[in-house]
Amino acid sequence: MSHSITLTVNGKTVTAEVEGRTLLVDFLREQLLLTGTHVGCDTSNCGACTVHVDGLSVKSCTMLAVQADGGSVTTIEGMAQGDNLHPIQEGFKEKHGLQCGFCTPGMVMTAADLLKKNPQPTEDEIRRALEGNFCRCTGYHNIVEAIQHAAANMQKAEA
């Protein structure tokens, strides 16, 4: 059965027809062509599909698109402001927080949620926040440094 949904994605209102069983990750990738949100495991273990729904970090492989109806979704494509990377994206670039890049969008989205809740997290708090995101390449050290770098820069920008 098809459902009409309307939501705001990266600041733009979108109306679309979706099957009731369509996952949010599939809607974003296949219908809206926002392929920065990755499908890694389909079981919510890896975190590659992490987006923000109404300001909260959500694994979009566990949410139906119809559940986002009326809401606001931010994907990795919505993090930068024009040509200016988000401070977390800049941190990943500056501190070499990525290798293959597959997990990076989910890591950035999870980090953004963390820094919104806790602008000055400790290394341990960062590592705990990332527990639901897998990276098979980096060993996490540079990811943690990237988030610490972003947190410091975001604090400076607010001062």
DSSP labels, 137-154 = SS-SHHHHHHHHHHHHHH
Asked if domains 2-78 and 87-158 share a fold, the reply is no
Structure tokens at 83: 């040509």
**CATH class belonging to 87-158:** mainly alpha
114: which 2 tokens?
């963390």
**pLDDT given at position 51:** 98
Give the per-residue pLDDT at 108: 98
The chain-wide mean pLDDT, for the chain, equals 95
Residues of the chain with pLDDT under 70: none
Q: Which of 106, 113, 114, 120 is CA-nearest to residue 152?
A: 120
Q: In the prediction, which pLDDT does 78 show?
A: 98
Residues paired with 4 in a beta bridge: 17
Class of domain 2-78: alpha beta
Question: Whole-model pTM?
Answer: 0.93
pLDDT of residue 157: 83
Q: So where are the chain's domains?
A: 2-78, 87-158
Structure tokens given for 145 = 């440094």
| Predicted local distance difference test score (pLDDT) of residue 148 | 97
